[in-house]
Amino acid sequence: MTVSAIPPARLAQRLRNVASSPVRDLLALTSRPEVISFAGGLPAPELFDVEGLRAAFDQVLTGPAARRTLQYAPTEGNAELRALVAERMTRRGLPTTGADLLVTTGSQQALTLVATALLDPGAVVVVEEPTYLAALQSFQLIGARIVPVAGDEDGIDPVALAEVLERERPTLIYLVPTFANPTGRTLSASRRTVVAELAAAHGVWVVEDDPYGELRYRGETLAPLAAEPAAGSRVIHLGSFSKTGAPGLRLGWLRAPASLLPALVIAKQVADLHTSTVDQAAAASWIGATDLDAHVRRLREVYGLRRDAMLSALPGTLPAGSTWSNPDGGMFVWTRLPAVADTASLLPLALERDVAFVPGAAFFAGDPDRSTLRLSFTTHTPEEISEGMRRLGTVLRG
């Protein structure tokens, strides 16, 4: 048989509903050094604590303990790391012990574990519209039906949510309540209470996906949604080292109610037995030896200035009549250009001028608003942001 006669692979039905992430596809196009990319939601590499992490890996791979570090280990994760994470979460207003936590291979894995443990094909998942597209992918892969609910500057609309809960009887609500991807919005304190009460009243699980919560540049800290009194046994809180440590570590965690954690541990056993023991041990060593609060303060300072640079350039970049979000933290500004029918048509022109953004359509589970786009402000200096926005202006304003 010649090579060309080999029939194409027949994929499982479940993969047919899942598109490749345009953000990940764009990463390949924007890796040319001359491109000023506002596309990927990447943390700034110059802020990674390379020295500290190298010392941590050195430490855990030195002496007799190295042999344990390289061995298989329990699925739940490194006990020291879980204790350190629990202590930090408790300080952030969510009382937690190591026993409440499961270490995951990035919070992305936590999303697939939750989908595996809780959703049958056809189960209904409610999301704020627009939302994190790789969360949509994990729910699509399992064959869930995704029902979008609109939000505004204060997060998901509680009245619309109440109606959908009544009508659709969902299994799960997925939210990024603090500095959301892609909008940068934060669910207000009063809405947190309402969402937790609605979830409890309807017996619905809530996923609070929180990779950006520590990256606040302005305003008062809000306790996690999982800390709401009504949320106790209903909210699964997801955390990540990707934005405060480094995403290449692929380390995250989930905090789940005791009734659910054992099922998630089984799903994790099936997925990968456990997260890399070396990486977990090094992360524990790094957190133990580093002033993590000072490191996060530095991230906030630098990213805050970059957010300011982008916000101040926006009025001169976008066409008249455009609107944009004004995030208190996180990595993203979400914009809407009502005069543009589809921002995807502008992306090739932007790439020609060495600047990039993500067209908004991929973040919608329902009918997409194609006049939207997402801009990330974290990976470039304020000067580069000004130059990138100037280039973007020539594309968007013609």
Which residues here bind ligand PMP, judged by CB under 6 A? Answer: 41, 106-108, 132, 176, 181, 209, 211, 240, 242, 247, 252
In the bound complex, what is the minimum distance in angstroms from residue 19's beta carbon to ligand PMP? Answer: 17
Concatenating the DSSP letter of every residue in 213-276 gives TT-B-SS-----GGGSGGGTTTEEEEEESTTTT-GGG--EEEE--TTTHHHHHHHHHHHHSSS-
Side chain identity, residue 120: D
Residue linked to tokens 């304190």: 189
Contact 233, 97 (CB under 8 A): no
> Between 106 and 327, whose beta carbon lies closer to ligand PMP?
106
CB–CB of 198/162 below 8 Å?
yes
Closest CB 341 distance from ligand PMP, rounded Å: 27
* Residue nearer to ligand PMP on the CB measure, 158 or 211: 211
Give 30 or 59: the residue with its C-beta nearer to ligand PMP.
Answer: 30
For ligand PMP, which is the closer residue by CB, 240 or 335? 240
CA distances to 139, 199, 235, 299 from 120, in Å: 10, 19, 19, 40
Provide the minimum distance between the beta carbon of 116 and ligand PMP in the complex, in angstroms, as a whole number. 16
Distance CA 301, CA 305 (A): 7
* Dist. CA 309–CA 36, nearest whole Å: 14
Contact 280, 245 (CB under 8 A): no
Whether the Cβ atoms of residue 358 and residue 182 lie closer than 8 Å to each other: yes
Q: Which is nearer to ligand PMP, 133 or 340 (CB)?
A: 133
Task: Report, in Å, the least distance between residue 287 CB and ligand PMP.
Answer: 16
Helices (H) and strands (E) in the chain, counts: 13, 14
Contact 41, 332 (CB under 8 A): yes
* Angstrom distance (rounded) from CA 296 to CA 184: 18
Residue closer to ligand PMP (CB basis): 240 or 277: 240
Q: Which residue is nearest to ligand PMP (CB)?
A: 106
Closest separation in Å from C-beta 156 to ligand PMP: 14
Closer to ligand PMP by CB, 252 or 393: give it.
252
C-alpha distance from residue 156 to each of 19, 160, 221 (Å) = 25, 8, 19
CB 194, min distance to ligand PMP, A: 21
Minimum CB separation of residue 185 from ligand PMP in Å reads 12
Q: How far is the CB of 350 from ligand PMP (least distance, A)?
A: 21
Report the residue number, 151 or 247, with the smaller CB distance to ligand PMP: 247
